[in-house]
Amino acid sequence: MLHVEVGPDFELVRRVKLRLRAGVEGFETEADMSAGTPLPLPLSDLQQLGTGRADLLALQVRDRGLEPLIFEDDWIVIDTSDTARRDRELYAVNWDGEACITQLQRRGGQWYLSFINPDFKPANARSGWLSIVGRVVYQPGRMLTGRL
């Protein structure tokens, strides 16, 4: 990891790319060198999250499904210790071997991958293979926890 000077009021979160495979629980990571440095997270926000730094990963969004809330190429932080499905929360998921940032919604007793961008249609989670990598908890400058 690159050495980065930040004040004592910040914690550094590793920027990674996910390596996923369809049908396989879990995930592997590789360092994302496109940004060059870890993502600084204010300690006050880390304390609000109530999770340990070791459970946090910074990912760069690679799709437009949550625009205008989260844009392609934005950075987000996920909590990999939080994989319990909760209605209307944002998650990083393995969807048939592809990394996807989505909102999970429960309708009629079934789970759907839902999107804010109207160009993206909801997908029934039963129509593909789904594994939760972690819940989206932070985007630089704002907390992203709770129902949207």
The pLDDT of residue 148 is above 70: no
Cβ-proximal residues to 65 (8 Å cutoff; 6+ apart), any chain: 100, 101, 102, 115, 116, 117, 120
**Residue owning tokens 């499905």:** 85
Q: Are 93 and 84 in contact (CB under 8 A)?
A: no
- For the stretch 47-91, pLDDT in tens is 888 887 889 999 999 999 999 999 999 999 999 999 999 999 999
Q: Look at residues 97, 82, 90 and name the one whose alpha carbon lies nearest to residue 131.
A: 97
Cα–Cα distance for residue pair 80/3, rounded to 1 Å: 24
- Residue 139, phi then psi, degrees to nearest 5: -130, 135
Q: Look at residues 143, 147, 148 and name the one whose alpha carbon lies nearest to residue 47.
A: 143
- What's the CA dihedral at 133, 134, 135, 141 to 10 degrees? -110
Q: Are 137 and 51 in contact (CB under 8 A)?
A: yes
More confident residue, 25 or 94: 94
pLDDT at 90: 96
Average pLDDT on 110-132 reads: 93
pLDDT at 116: 92
pLDDT tier at 2, thresholds 50, 70, 90: very low
pLDDT at 33: 81
Query: What's 20's DSSP letter?
Result: -
Average pLDDT on 30-45 reads: 87
- What's the CA dihedral at 33, 75, 110, 119 to 10 degrees? -100
pLDDT at 122: 95
- What's the CA dihedral at 122, 145, 57, 104 to 10 degrees? -20
**Average model confidence (pLDDT) across the chain:** 88
- For the stretch 86-111, pLDDT in tens is 999 999 999 998 999 999 999 999 99
